Amino acid sequence: MNWDDIQHNLEPDNIGTAPIGIKLSVFITLFVIIIAAGIYFDTQDQLKVLERHERKEVELKEEFKIKADQAAKLELYKEQLAEMEASFGALLRQLPETTEVESLLIDVSQTGLAAGLEIKKFKPSAEEKKGFYAELPISLEVSGSYHQLATFISGIAALPRIVTISDMKLEPFEKQEDVSTSGKLKMSATAKTYRYLQEDEQ
């Protein structure tokens, strides 16, 4: 069978009378084309879906790894939280309530006198509310020797309540001719103490 016969048999009007070999070849070719088209159009979508699921799987694995790590450290976090709450509670106990502020101011003043300082200024200012606590600044001007000033600062640090010293300035006396002022220093500073605010005040 030559090429002309094959072309004649492949014409739509003659395909029904074509030899079985040609019919089989046409059927196999059409089958392969249909399968290839199905694979191309359907499988491409499936491959995209598969790729999307693979990306999601990687993300979920990372998320699971992070959460598993957090779960493994949960007991440690609980212990740290308990320690922080205990430390916070201890700090809160160092903040005086309203009724204790006056005695704390007396303690600061008496600490200066006990150190042998000459107190030139001791002026509490209005308290400033800051969240759950209030800050009470006290303007100080004292004079004394270096060791007396150091004793005063050490005494402030040893008080049972929190008191901080800031804006500290040290200056020698301008005139040191008088023996009584020899070696003395003037110190100006702001002492700050803190008061816990009740819920209604916050």
What pLDDT is attached to residue 179? 46
Cα separation, 20 vs 26, whole angstroms: 10
Residue by residue, what is the 3-state secondary structure of 124-187? ECCCEEECCEEEEEEEEEEEECHHHHHHHHHHHHCCCCCEEEEEEEEEECCCCCCHHHCCCEEE
What pLDDT is attached to residue 86? 77
DSSP state of 104: H
Residue 40: what residue type?
A: Y
Cα separation, 188 vs 170, whole angstroms: 7
This model's pTM is above 0.85? no
pLDDT tens by residue, 93-110: 666 665 466 777 788 888
Q: Report which listed range, 36-50, 119-133, 146-160, is most confident.
A: 146-160
If you average pLDDT over every residue of the chain, what do you get? 77
Token code pair at residue 43: 């499988």
> Residue 110: which of 151, 51, 164 has the closest Cα?
151
Are residues 114 and 177 in contact, defined by beta-carbon separation less than 8 angstroms? Answer: no
The angle subtended at Cα 130 by Cα 200 and Cα 193, nearest 5°, is: 100
Instruction: Choose between 45 and 142: higher pLDDT.
Output: 142
What pLDDT is attached to residue 156? 86
Token code pair at residue 121: 């200024």
